[in-house]
Structure 1
Amino acid sequence: MIYDLTHRLEEEMPVWPGSPKPKIEIESTIEQDGYLENHLQISSHSGTHVDAPAHLLVNGCTLDKFRPDYFIGKALKIDLTHCHQLIKEEEFLFLENFAEPFDFLLLHTGWGRYWGHPVYFQKFPVLNSKAAKFLSNLKLKAIGIDTISFDPVESDALPNHHIFMLKNMLLIENITAMDPLPQNKIFELFVLPLYFRQADGAPARIVARVEG
């Protein structure tokens, strides 16, 4: 079974406060030009997207420096819908003895249900520092979440971002539709960011494949 975990890019979609909204304009039409073509203007962090270490670190790696196979691997989803505002280290301690290896960890907070509403930016669940440090030591390729950010909107220092990026981990934000994914069972994940020069981040198509 294939599951699409990606928000469709639209002009009125939620964006990080202060970031420009996407612009999607018809450049050419079949009636006038013989073909249809759109002009896209988007931020590198529009919609469902991947943050590279270069987003915050001066000498951090950009997405275009990662090999294509880095974006494919085994994933695990953790149900955190019972957590409110703060996600603590205790939620993840079982991972130390998890039977199977995995490359990606998806945090399902359930906050994606507020996508398109002002509350999406307000008091969404975030990791506390101990939880972030614990997860950063798991040697993952990336960690993803169904909120706008791994840090509160009002945060200037973005401490959780730094904790992960200093370990060269990628961050996936604004994931959607994680409900059908199995809990504590390994599945295959494809994280496919746009490929462009000096990519500090990029919109991405996130797709899961679950056996059975």
Structure 2
Amino acid sequence: MAPTLIDLTHPLTTGMPVYPGDPEVELRPALTTATAGVNVLGLHLGSQSGTHVDAPYHVDVTWPTLDGLPLTLFTGPAVVADLRGLEPRTAVTAGLLADALERLTPGAVLLLATGWPRYWGTDHYLAHPYLAPSAARALVEAGVRTLGVDALSIDRTPDPGPGDPAVAALLADLADEHDGPPPAEEVGLAAHRVVLGAPGGAVITENLTDLTPLLEAQAAGEPVEVSFFPLRLVAADGAPVRAVARIG
């Protein structure tokens, strides 16, 4: 039987959801067959738009940029952690990932399936579960260098605007992790810094679509491979990807 290819990429469209404060996405005709004899689309978007990959440079200017990373980081056999059913803004602990970590092999890609794609395009999409920094450290120690999630971020995403109680909760979480107030640059990005700072380099793919077919294939014992190859942007913090799973 021929392998099945599954697209895990959100379409890039004008006005699509973006991380609070990121550039909005706009697609519009730059040239048309009516006026120039060809159709060419003009694109305005950020490096973190849609389904995208983060390079270490995303959180630290001294760490590798996207074009300095080996292609091997963007593909590999997948292990999917089933985190569906968690409450909004739940911290994903190392204990919740124990089964997935036991299945890891060298070069494997770990995918976090939260079920949050069902909220894509709604305000609730920002209230996704997030990776506790201690869990991020457990992943790195287990050898994970490629991490993907079907949510906006592996870290907590506060609601935009002042006075959000999630911000206070985030600061409290990070204070616990650091035994005191966290460094300002880690507010909201603690798990990013742990994963992307892994020895030898690491990448994070965010905004994947529904991972249920991969969980089903994994449960059936079928091999699952994923690829997240980014645009070849020079000195970039990240880039949109075409995320594809190969089952069988």
In the TM superposition, residue 73 of structure 1 has moved relative to its aligned partner by 1.4
Distance 1:209 1:107 in 2: 17
Secondary structure of the residue that 2:34 maps to in structure 1? helix
User: Is the helix fraction higher in 1 or 2?
Assistant: 2
Q: 1:96 to 1:113 in 2, by over 3 A?
A: closer
Deviations 1:21-79, CA, capped at 9 Å, x for gaps: 11111011111111100111110000000011000112111111123343221111111
Measured after TM superposition, the shift of residue 191 of structure 1 is 0.9
Aligned partner of 1:120 in structure 2 is 125
Structure 1's unaligned 5+ residue stretches are none
**CA 1:54–1:188 in structure 2 vs 1: closer, same or farther (change >3 Å)?**
same
TM-score normalised by the chain length of structure 1: 0.92
Number of residue pairs matched? Answer: 210
1:165-204 mapped onto 2 (5 Å cutoff): 165-167=196-198, 168-181=201-214, 182-183=217-218, 186-204=223-241
* Gap regions ≥5 residues in structure 2: 159-169, 171-186
Deviations along 1:59-118, whole A, 9 cap, x unmatched? Answer: 111111123343221111111103221212112223454374442111000011100001
Superposed, 1:112-151 pairs within 5 Å as 112-122=117-127, 124-151=128-155
Percent of aligned pairs sharing the same letter: 35
- For the aligned residues, what is the CA RMSD? 1.7
Structure showing greater radius of gyration is: 2
Q: Which runs of 4+ in 1 moved over 6 A?
A: none
The answer for the alignment partner of 2:177 in structure 1 is none
Report if aligned partners of 1:87, 1:127 keep a CA contact under 8 Å in 2: yes
* TM-score of the aligned structures, taking structure 2 as reference length: 0.79
**Distance in structure 2 (CA, Å) of the matches to 1:97 and 1:148:** 26
Q: How does 1:56-71 map to 2 (within 5 A)?
A: 56-71=59-74
